Amino acid sequence: APGGQPVSPTIYRLIRKPDGSYDKGEPLPLPSGLNLFDFTRADIDGDSTLEIVAIDRKNHLRVMDRAGKVLWQSGSTYGAGKNFFGTLSSTDKGGHRRIYIPTRIIARDLNGDGRADIVVGRNRLATIKFFKRLRYFEGSSIAALSWNGSALEPLWETRKISGYTADYQLVTNTGKKGPATLQLYFAETESSYPFVFWEAESCNIHVYEIRRKKENR
């Protein structure tokens, strides 16, 4: 990235060539301040236009239009993660800073209304008094939210677990009779401490089955 920064301020489309390689295409029309890892685009209001759903530097969820106007911002925090670009000694001085990578934002129609809903992790970020550069987490959950015309409101949230949710994904389950259901897979590490020598060597995989209300009668 320019200036030695770990993340470029501009995101480009990649164009696949016949030989399998890629060329850089046109830049995506995105508001400034976003990087590749902290947003998704989805039609959350059913108007056939893609809105931008992003996690800001303070771990608040934002909904923006294409021009970057903020339509809504959450009061609660979402998407906090412990992976980052840079080093623990990175600061804003000299133009180099540590950039944390949020957990993924999934856009999927969960309630059958034809509009994309949002699924995002909620690792509970805590502060360590003497290690302010490090992140520590006190439990986690995964939340689903739906646009009500003026805000993203909760659809459901998994129970809070004691560990750190490292990653998650929604998978369509079509392997049984009846309507297809969604399965939420997520990985919980045994330790949420940020120090390398405290990291867990294993994790637990959880699976939840999600059914739409009209299919669960």
The burial class, CB within 10 Å (0-12 / 13-18 / 19+), for 136 is middle
Report CA torsion sign: 91, 97, 98, 103: positive
Q: How far apart are CA 113 and CA 204, in angstroms?
A: 33
The length of the chain is 217
Would you list the DSSP string of 176-204? SSSS-EEEEEEEEES----SGGG--S-EE
- Give residues with Cβ within 8 angstroms of 191, minimum separation 6: 163, 164, 198, 199, 200
Question: Residue 76 contacts by C-beta under 8 Å, 6 or more apart in sequence?
Answer: 60, 122
Over the stretch 167-195, which tens digit does the pLDDT of each residue have?
Answer: 999 998 776 666 678 999 999 987 655 55
pLDDT tens figures, 10-60:
889 999 999 999 999 999 888 888 888 999 999 999 999 999 999 999 999
Contact call for residues 56 and 79 (beta carbons, < 8 A): no
* Distance of alpha carbon 210 from alpha carbon 1, whole angstroms: 40
* Single pTM value for the model: 0.84
Percent of the chain with pLDDT over 90: 55
The 10s digit of each residue's pLDDT in 125-142 is 887 766 666 788 889 999
